[in-house]
Structure 1
Amino acid sequence: MKKILVAGALALALSGCASQQPEAPFTLTLAHINDTHSHFDPSDAPLTLDGQRVYTRLGGFPRLLNYANTLREQAKLADQPLLFVHGGDAWQGSGYFQLNRGAMNADLLSRLGLDAMVPGEHEFDLDNQRLAAFIEGVNFPVLAANLNVSRDPALSGAANLHPYVLYAFDGNDKERLESMDDAGRDPVVAIIGLLPEEMGELGTSTGGLRFEHELETAQRTVNALRAQGVKHIIALTHLGLERDQRLAARVNGIDVIVGGRSETLLGDFSDLGLGNNPPYAQLITNPDGRAKTCVVQAGHFAQAMGRVSVTFSRDGRVTRCEGGNTLLTDGEFYHDIRRGEQHRLSPAAQQRLRQLVAADKRLAVVAEDAELRRHIDEQYKPALTRAYGAVLGHVPATLSHRGLPGRDGSQSELAPLVAASQLYWVNTPEVQAVTGRRADVALVSASAVRTQLEPGELRQGKVRQELLPFATPLSLVSLTGRQLAGLLLETINGALTDDKRAQAFPYMAGLRYQFDETRKGAGFLRQIEVRQGERWVKLDPNASYSLVLNAYHASGNDGWNTLFQAQQVLTDRIDLARVNGRLMAFPVARLSQTGNNAIEAHYINQPLNCRAAGVRCNTDAEAFEDYVQQRRPLLTPLADTGITLNRL
């Protein structure tokens, strides 16, 4: 059934005589996942079990499929209705997506046996032609009630994109309906899809799409479905937990909200080392003060599956909503993320932990579906292995990234490591033989770091294609202490003043400072020190310091204007790149600004052309790779980032 998703026309599309629905109580099971982010393989994950930190592997699509099939078989034996849905953001998140875009998701999601999916913001990251191909390529309906596609040439004709879908149940038997006219006396469940109304700002490529108000669309859709005779309504959303709760509190008639986007593993997992999150299957009273809505969500990265059982009264209201999230483990436990044979727990310890898992409803040992595992390994894994190359090291726990440090003291864990890698690399004998210099300080803009790192193996391709994907040469340039202090003030104040510049906040190595915010968006540097050997020495305003940073920021882009101003007449800067495998220095004479405000580097001899054959400019990534292999094969956060930012 083809639909142009204009929310205002929905009531007309649903008009008609209300069907007669049965008066008997009805119980429905919902299995659900969300924010899988192309984690088709299992994720290495730390857990706390029996009071000890251990490493196992969680989830992955073959394990999801096996567990979903188990739930389906249980429902079939009990002759109970079951639906399996996805709360959005299947795209992005792994090397598989970088290589295959939406095509692999369409293939593997179709093999899971889903009954519906709502798009997330990352489904809009490419272009609408690719999104349309994905939607038309899956074997389940994609739902978005508040998405208006009438002005978009790619999606306006998408026959598999709907505001809602109807399923009728006769026990475990399920039939998708075109309309309530076909329902008879079987119970009918409607699933509506809802996206963030600000999706046009979240998605990088939304073309001519318009996103309608989520609350108004939800209430209008529910009213029209109720008028048609639908008693059981599920909202499949990609709004985030807080907005799911708001939706439940402000819209009448939604029975269950299955959400995504905030990636919340609902339930208390604190004793497992995964936090105490809000309760699973929370019941929230509707505005009418009578009915209640049950809210669920299932974490991220295909690590867990949620299962909720919902019982309805004769008039269609929720009387019981119970269930939980289950983490799906391979049942193998190690005391080190590297998972070598020497790291494996003893057979007795393995058996003890498996017994604990068997007794815990939040965990399940689940084997992978053999056929889906084979399909991934044969069709997709070889290209991933070729593209992502050698293992550089291992990440024991998630390394987070953010721009501006928070008022609670939280900072990027990755950006300081990137800065440390650059300072280490330029001071190695090989690089110093080319530059003839030693760097004192490394600076990294938060915007240069493009992803966080999840636990598990760190491969070369992860660094080059995802963490530091811009293939940017490193630069060495000298500033006086006074200029360096000015650069810090400029970038810190800019990040505090303008949300758009928060991602240009400077992280560093070889330098430490204390900054006190005195009013909103402004403050002063109380102390700046530079590391000299094993000592910290106060910054000398008149001394010259050698900085290493990527060439983009070395030219003063991203609001780092002090660097541009310091190099307009003369500079000692050199950019570092490899030519036919050989590391070479490209001296810069000065910088200038073109008519469209682009900054241009004028080289003394041969200009650096990163597009030329044999030229490889990604020395920023090379530095990080060497640092991990040679200094931090177990990549953990630095004990001290050097940043003390006292925010108001």
Structure 2
Amino acid sequence: MKWAVRLYGILFVGAIFVGIAFHDALVNSQDFSLRLLHTNDHHARLESVEVGDNLLGGIARRKTLIDTLLAENETTTLLLDAGDIFQGTLYFNKYLGQADVPFYNQMNYAAVAIGNHEFDRGQETLAEFIRSSAFPMISSNLEIDVNSPLSDLIKSWIIVHVNREQIGILGLTTPDTEVLSSPGEGIKFLDPIAAAKKTVKILRGRGVNKIIALTHLGISEDIKLAQQVDGIDLIVGGHSHTPLGNIPGATQPYPLVETSPNGDNVLVVTDWEWGKYLGDLQVVFDGRGHLIYWSGSPHAVDESIIPDPDFEAQLQVFQAPLEELRNKVIGQTDTVLDGDRRNIRSIETNLGNLIADAILAKMQPDGAEIAIVNGGGIRASIPAGNITLGQVMEVLPFGNTIARCDFTGNQIKKLLEHGVSGVEKGEGSFPQVSGIQLMWNPEAPIGSRIMSVNVISPDGSMKPLEDDVSYRVVTNTFLMTGGDGYEIFKQSNNQVDTGFLLSDVVADYISDRPLINPPVGDRIIKAPL
């Protein structure tokens, strides 16, 4: 009898181990692999761009790389873009997104987020782009009036099926679009955190347990999103042009691993800018939809990649009308005119000085004494040599006109305080100036950084800015209407939109001078520490 008891005991224990092994095998069989290829902040960069001694990007090389990676496992791969397809080159100035959309259609993007620059030419231009697209454009935090041209065109979220698994994708757009672009009436930008929580609840209610947030918020806001919202597994972001991992200049890994309020891992990725790299993240979910594995790194879209010949042929059709415009020489410079993003948003540069000098000279007959432009509106550098009209238009792509107004000295100080308040974040409000010299302390508290301001007379003499004296200021229409957070411009007197196109004024200024070599270093001075 004892041998029977022992036998039953052995069989029972064995059954337990077999059951455990079977359960583990079942769970493993339910693991789900997903590969994300992603881009952001394309900014109409259909051609390759020079980065140091290298050429990076270009839509034809991107196509080749995407096709190569898709061939490895197309059925479990999603291609996403985190917004700002619009704005930045002659292609956008000429075609308003219609040169970009056929390429995006043919690359089979699964979804594209709405970026702030998608509103730069108003709602109808964006609506026409969406109507031409074969992919959904998404944002969960937009409230769109039924009378808007965008009504019913932008989705809050989508569900895609990958190997019979449901993947929820929600979009988010920076609320700063109201000051960074020109969305117009009929659109409200809601709190992204609240919108994300609401949308996650909807997707969970539909049985989705794997959720991607496709965002145009910036890396710092993406991290907050990961830390404050449960239910999001992956955040694919844009807006801040942040390099991660192996991308040049990166200081953070790819992916960033954050923790949600309930303790789950959340992966955050972004892909720098302009299609220079292609993000590539591979993840595995368990049967309950929890992340259990991840790996990946961005791929350089460099000269080792053979451009897709069909895309090259299509691009040539769009290039042809631009060549005459692009190549018209309007002047010369013997030095690089610095519009580098990091510099133009943190220090005085010779290109910032050139632009400010040009609009001040244009408006001096009207009594203008001071010019202030936002560094964020200056979008490229100009190399030494011939200066073409096309280069000027790429530096100043937004189609702004010149505006003038009257400010007291005290208001100008407040305006400049705002301008230097976001330098740590690389915000576009950093001022480039003419007609004044300012000294500031970047270590001082925000709101107390401006130490002194002097007005520079046409003869080069200087005197302190006086609080109660009225000064005529020239700027662009974007700032005049409160863009980049410059709400104080709305308080100015005698506001006039001159109708002079900013890029035309700068081009004329260059054309009128035999050599462009603006001095630099004596207008925006950091206080010695």
TM-score by length of 2: 0.74
Q: Partners in 1 of 2:197 and 2:359 — Cα distance?
A: 54
Q: Is the 8 A contact 2:339 2:352 kept in 1?
A: no
One-letter amino acid matched to 1:375: Q
Match of 1:209 among 179, 184, 187: 187
SS in 1 for 2:168: strand
Match of 2:157 among 161, 164, 167: 164
SS in 2 for 1:237: strand
Q: Which residue of 1 aligns with 2:222?
A: 244
Q: Is the 8 A contact 1:413 1:638 kept in 2?
A: yes
SS in 2 for 1:446: strand
Identity of paired residues, percent?
23
Rate the CA distance shift 1:63–1:398 in 2: closer, same or farther, 3 A.
Answer: farther
Q: Which residue of 1 aligns with 2:308?
A: 369
> In the TM superposition, what whole-angstrom CA distance separates every residue of 1:100-130 from its partner, at most 9, and x where no partner exists?
1132222222122211111101111222222
Rate the CA distance shift 1:639–1:135 in 2: closer, same or farther, 3 A.
Answer: same
Q: Is the 8 A contact 2:147 2:186 kept in 1?
A: yes
Q: Which residue of 2 aligns with 1:351?
A: none
Q: Partners in 1 of 2:184 and 2:359 — Cα distance?
A: 37
Rate the CA distance shift 1:255–1:622 in 2: closer, same or farther, 3 A.
Answer: same
Q: Which residue of 2 aligns with 1:285?
A: 259
Is residue 2:31 matched to residue 1:25? yes
Q: Is the 8 A contact 1:267 1:278 kept in 2?
A: yes
Q: Partners in 2 of 1:397 and 1:277 — Cα distance?
A: 27
One-letter amino acid matched to 1:385: E
Is residue 2:246 matched to residue 1:276? no
Q: Partners in 2 of 1:266 and 1:202 — Cα distance?
A: 24
Q: CA deviation at 1:552?
A: 4.8
Is residue 2:430 matched to residue 1:493? no
Q: CA deviation at 1:519?
A: 11
Q: CA deviation at 1:322?
A: 1.4
Q: Which residue of 1 aligns with 2:133?
A: 138
TM-score by length of 1: 0.61
SS in 1 for 2:135: coil
1:30-429 aligned at under 5 Å gives the runs: 30-46=36-52, 55-76=53-74, 81-158=76-153, 161-170=154-163, 186-269=164-247, 274-289=248-263, 291-330=264-303, 365-378=304-317, 380-391=318-329, 399-400=339-340, 410-418=347-355
Rate the CA distance shift 1:519–1:421 in 2: closer, same or farther, 3 A.
Answer: closer
Is residue 2:397 matched to residue 1:460? no
Q: Partners in 2 of 1:110 and 1:465 — Cα distance?
A: 25
Is residue 2:445 matched to residue 1:445? no
One-letter amino acid matched to 1:235: A
Q: CA deviation at 1:399?
A: 1.7
> In the TM superposition, what whole-angstrom CA distance separates every residue of 1:312-366 from its partner, at most 9, and x where no partner exists?
1121101112111222112xxxxxxxxxxxxxxxxxxxxxxxxxxxxxxxxxx21
Is residue 2:433 matched to residue 1:507? yes
SS in 2 for 1:462: helix
> In the TM superposition, what whole-angstrom CA distance separates every residue of 1:471-530 from its partner, at most 9, and x where no partner exists?
779xxxxxxxxxxxxx99668524335569996957348x86757899956976598999
Q: Is the 8 A contact 2:376 2:429 kept in 1?
A: no
Q: Partners in 2 of 1:599 and 1:148 — Cα distance?
A: 31
Q: Partners in 2 of 1:199 and 1:446 — Cα distance?
A: 18
Q: Partners in 1 of 2:350 and 2:202 — Cα distance?
A: 49
Q: CA deviation at 1:367?
A: 1.6
Q: CA deviation at 1:92?
A: 0.5
Q: Is the 8 A contact 1:471 1:619 kept in 2?
A: no
Rate the CA distance shift 1:530–1:255 in 2: closer, same or farther, 3 A.
Answer: same
Long gaps (5+) in structure 2: 1-26, 363-367, 422-427, 465-471, 481-491
Q: Partners in 2 of 1:316 and 1:94 — Cα distance?
A: 41
Q: Is the 8 A contact 1:512 1:530 kept in 2?
A: no
Q: CA deviation at 1:224?
A: 2.8
Q: Partners in 1 of 2:510 and 2:233 — Cα distance?
A: 50
Rate the CA distance shift 1:39–1:188 in 2: closer, same or farther, 3 A.
Answer: same
Q: How many residues align?
A: 466
Q: Which residue of 2 aligns with 1:337?
A: none
Cα RMSD of the aligned pairs, angstroms, is 4.6
Rate the CA distance shift 1:443–1:282 in 2: closer, same or farther, 3 A.
Answer: same
SS in 2 for 1:74: coil
> In the TM superposition, what whole-angstrom CA distance separates every residue of 1:245-266 from its partner, at most 9, and x where no partner exists?
1111111111111001111121
> In the TM superposition, what whole-angstrom CA distance separates every residue of 1:164-189 from its partner, at most 9, and x where no partner exists?
2222233xxxxxxxxxxxxxxx2222
One-letter amino acid matched to 2:309: A
1:472-487 aligned at under 5 Å gives the runs: none
